[in-house]
A and B are shown apart, each in its own frame.
Chain A
Amino acid sequence: MLSIRNIVKQYAGHTALSGVSLEIESGQIFGLLGPNGAGKTSLIRIINQITAPDSGEVYFNGVKLNQQHIERIGYLPEERGLYKKMEIGEQMIYLARLKGLSRAEAIKRLKVWFAKLGMETWWKLKIEELSKGMQQKAQFVATVLHEPDLIILDEPFSGFDPVNAEIIKDEILELNKKGATILFSTHRMESVEELCHSIALLNLSHKILDGKVKDIRKSYRNSTYLIEYQGEKVNLKDTLPFTILEENHGDDDSYGIKIKLNEDVSVNDVLQYLLPKARINLLQEVIPSMNEIFIEQVNLIR
C-alpha cells in the first residue's frame, strides 16, 4: 500500500526525519509510535503531501505519491479543528467535496454516518455549539466520508471519553475490515497491542524498530515465566535451574513466582523440578508489553 523510502526532512536548525523507510501493507492497521518530537507528524505530513521531503520517496500502491492520491487518503490531524461558525452539515459537505465527492453523494453518505453515530439532529448546528467530544466525532466522520483507501489518524483517541473512544475504535476496525488501510500514531500503547498488526517506532528522527507486533514482542522474549501453584509454600533452594524475579503470596493457598530461566534450561526442566513439590495452576510466558519495549528502546537511545 505505502512504501516509504529513505525520507529525509530537515527544518532550519534540526532534522525531523533522517533516512526513514517503512513498508505498510494493504489492509493493515499500522501503528506509528514514538515520543514527542520524534518526527511522527513530519512523516504524516509528508504522506499527506502537506510538505515534501528533502530527499526520499513515497510510493502509493507502487506509484510515486502525487496529487491524485489526495482523494484516496483521509487524514485526522492531532490538532483537531473545524470552522467554528459554519453549520456541521454544510461543513462536512464542503470538506468531502474538497476530497472530490459530489454534493449529492456527500449528502447521501453523511446521512448514513449521522444515523450510525446518532448525530442526525446536529445537521444545522454550528461547531461552536457542540461539546469537544461531539466535535471530534464530527471530525472523524469528515475524515472517512470519502471512503479513503488509506486513513491516517494522528492520536485518534485523544479527547474522547471512554464510551466514544470505544465507538470510534469499533468504527476504525470496521473500516479496516472493509479494506481500508489504517495508519495511526499514538502514545497509548494499550491501543497498539489491541489494534495494530504492525508498528514502527520513531525516536529522534530515526526509525529504531519496526515489524509485526507479534514478531517484535517475540523477539523481546527473555525466558521469563510466571508460575502459580497451590498448597504448601515451596522452599526454593539455591541450586535452582532459574532465578526468581518476584515472589508473592496470593489468596487462599496460592503462590505466584516470576522466574527467569538459566541458560540451557527449558521450561520443561522447571516443571520437572517443581512438579514433585507443588500443584501447578498456571505456567505462562511473560512477554514484555509494547509499553515496556517502547520505554526500553527509547531509553536505550538516550
Chain B
Amino acid sequence: MDKILLIILREYITRVRKKSFIVMIFVVPALIFLMGYVLTLVGKNSQELSVDQTIKVSDQTSIFANKFTNIKHLNFESVNSPISALKEEASNNENLSILIIHKGYTMKDSVEILSKKKPSIIVLNEVSKQLNQIATNRNLIEHHINPAVLKAINSDISLNAIEITKTGDNKTNIGANIAISISCAILIYLSLFIYGAQVMRGVIEEKTSRIIEVIISSVKPFQLMMGKIIGVGLVGLTQFSAWIILSMVSTKIAGHTLATTPGSLFGAIQVLQTIHFGPILFYFLFYFLTGYLLYSALFAAVGSAVDSETETQQFMFPITLPLLFTYILAVSVLFQAPDSPLAVWLSIIPFTAPVAMMVRIPFDPAPWQIALSMSLMVVGFLFTTYVAARIYRVGVLMYGKKASYKELVKWFFYKE
C-alpha cells in the first residue's frame, strides 16, 4: 500500500509540476471566456446596423409616403425626383438605397429596392416589415376596422415552462439545460480521452525507457498500473477543481461588475444561476471518475502491449468507438430526446454511460436509471481493471513482439 502511494505521488507531482499543466489551468477558461465574448459580440453586430443608412422612397401610389418610421441608423425619406436621378445618386453613395413602389404594389415583385451594394438582411427585413404594416393598416381602414382597436384585441401569449418538483415549482430554461447537457458531454468525452491517453503514454514511456523492469522488481505490476491511473486521475481532478474555482470566482466578479450594466452576458449569467450546479457537479465528478477508471485501465493495457505510440492504432479503435459513437449521438440527437429508449440504454451501458448520462442529467432522468447506471459503472471499471491488469502484467515485459488480439487473449490466460 505504501508503495502504491509513492507511485501515485510521483505520477501526480511530475505532471502537476509541468509548465504545461499550469498554463492549461489559465488558458482553457480564458479561451472559453474569449469564445463566449466573441460570440456575443458577433451576435450583437448582426442584429444592429452600425452605419447610418438612408432609404429614399419613390412612391407612385402615395399610400406609403411619409408613413415610414425611422429607426436607429436607418432613415426614410420620401422623394419625388425621377428614378434615373435617384439611381445616379445611389450609385455614388454606398449608404443610400432607393425604394420604388409601383402602382400595382400588391403584385409579385412590384416593389424594388436599389442600392450600390447588396442591402443587408436587417435593412430588408425592416423595410418589408414596415411596408406590410402600412399596407395592412390601409386594408383595415378600407374595410372599416380601426387599427387601434385591432391592436387592443390582439393577444400576446408566451409560454413559461415550469417543472413540478417536490421542493417547489422550478422555472426551467430549456435552452440552458441543453447547453449544460451538451457541454457536460463534450467535457467528459474530452477529459476521458485526454487523461486516458496520458496513462497510455506513461505506460509506453516506462516500457520504451526500460525502467519498467527495475520498478517491477520492486512492486507488483498491478500496483504500478493502479498507481499511475490514480495519479493521473488526481491530476485531472486538480485541473477540474482549478477550473471550477476559477470560473466561480470570475462569474462572481462578472456578476458584480455587470449588474449595473445589464447586457446579454449578464443575462446569460443570470440564466446559469438558475441551474442547480451542485447535483450536476456531483454526477459529473462521479461519471468522470468511474469512466476514467474504466477507460484508463484499457488505455494502460494498450500501452503495455505496444512498443511505441504509433503502434497503438489497431487497439485504440475498438476502445474509442463506443465513446465517439455516443459523443456524436449526444451532440446531435440525445439532447433532443433525453428519455428515448436509445438514450436510456446508452446511459446504462458502462462504456457509453459517462457521456450519455451526462446529457440526460439536466433533464432529470428516473432515479432507478441513475442508480442502475452508477452501479454498473462501478462493476464496469472493476471488470476492465481486472482484464487490463492481466494483460498489462505480461505486456510490459514483452519487447519487440508485435502484439495481436490473439496474443492479448493468450496473455490474459497466463499464469503468474
Residues on A lying within 8 angstroms of B by beta carbon are 12, 45, 48-52, 54, 70, 73, 75, 77, 79-86, 94-95, 97-99, 139, 142-143
Contacts and interface: CB of A to CB of B under 8 A. Distances in A.
Interface stretch (B180-188, B208-216, B238-246): B208-216
Contact of A98 (B6, B210, B397): B6
B410 interface: yes
A95 B214 CA distance: 8
Contact of B415 (A45, A52, A75, A99): A52
Contact of A77 (B7, B213, B219, B416): B213
Interface in B209-229: 209-219
Nearest to B393: A51
B116 interface: no
B3 interface: yes
Contact of A79 (B217, B218, B399): B399
A85 B205 CA distance: 10
Contacts of B217: 48-50, 70, 73, 75, 77
Contacts, number: 62
Interface string B188-222: 00000000000000000110011111111111000
B397 A12 contact: no
A142 B6 contact: no
Given A49-B217, A79-B213, A81-B212, 9 more contacts: A51-B416, A75-B217, A77-B210, A81-B209, A81-B214, A82-B214, A98-B218, A139-B214, A143-B214
Contacts of A80: 210
A1 B210 CA distance: 28
A287 B53 CA distance: 111
B102 interface: no
25 contacts: A48-B216, A49-B217, A50-B213, A50-B216, A50-B217, A51-B416, A52-B416, A70-B218, A75-B214, A75-B217, A77-B213, A80-B210, A81-B211, A81-B212, A81-B213, A82-B211, A83-B206, A85-B14, A86-B14, A95-B214, A95-B215, A98-B6, A139-B214, A142-B214, A143-B214
B138 interface: no
Contact of A94 (B10, B210, B213, B397): B10
B210 A79 contact: yes
A111 to B, nearest CB: 21
Interface string B1-24: 001001100100010000000000
Interface string B400-412: 0000000000100
A9 B217 CA distance: 18
Nearest to B3: A98
A86 B219 CA distance: 19
Nearest to A87: B14
Interface residues of B, number: 23
Q: Which 10 pairs across A and B sit closest by C-beta, in order of nearness?
A: A81-B210, A98-B218, A52-B416, A77-B213, A79-B210, A81-B211, A48-B217, A81-B209, A75-B217, A50-B216
Contacts of B215: 95, 98
A118 B412 CA distance: 46
A44 B271 CA distance: 65
A54 B415 CA distance: 8
Contacts of A45: 397
A98 B211 contact: no
Nearest to A154: B213
A50 B3 CA distance: 16
A230 B4 CA distance: 73
Contacts of A83: 14, 205-206, 209, 211
Contacts of B210: 77, 79-81
Contacts of A48: 216-217
Contacts of A81: 209-214
Contacts of B399: 79
A228 to B, nearest CB: 50
Contacts of A95: 214-215, 218
A73 B213 CA distance: 13
B213 A97 contact: no
A163 to B, nearest CB: 24
A97 B8 CA distance: 13
Nearest to A50: B216
A217 to B, nearest CB: 33
Interface in B283-317: none
Contacts of B216: 48, 50
Given A51-B397, A80-B210, A99 B218 contact: yes
A51 B398 CA distance: 12
B219 to A, nearest CB: 6
Most buried by A among B6, B206, B410: B6
B6 A97 contact: yes
Most buried by B among A12, A52, A83, A95: A83
Contacts of B10: 94
A94 B6 contact: yes
B408 to A, nearest CB: 12
A49 B217 CA distance: 7
Contact of B209 (A50, A51, A82, A98): A82
Nearest to B407: A12
A205 B3 CA distance: 34
A50 B220 CA distance: 8
A279 B206 CA distance: 66
Nearest to A54: B415
A82 B208 CA distance: 10
A75 to B, nearest CB: 4
A131 to B, nearest CB: 16
B50 to A, nearest CB: 52
A48 B211 CA distance: 15
Nearest to A83: B211
A296 B187 CA distance: 67
A143 B216 CA distance: 13
Most buried by A among B10, B397, B410: B10
Contacts of A54: 415
A139 B217 CA distance: 14
A98 B216 CA distance: 10
A99 B2 CA distance: 11
B17 to A, nearest CB: 10
A45 B216 CA distance: 10
A85 B6 CA distance: 18
Contacts of A143: 214
A85 B202 CA distance: 12
B226 to A, nearest CB: 14
A231 to B, nearest CB: 61
Contacts of B3: 98
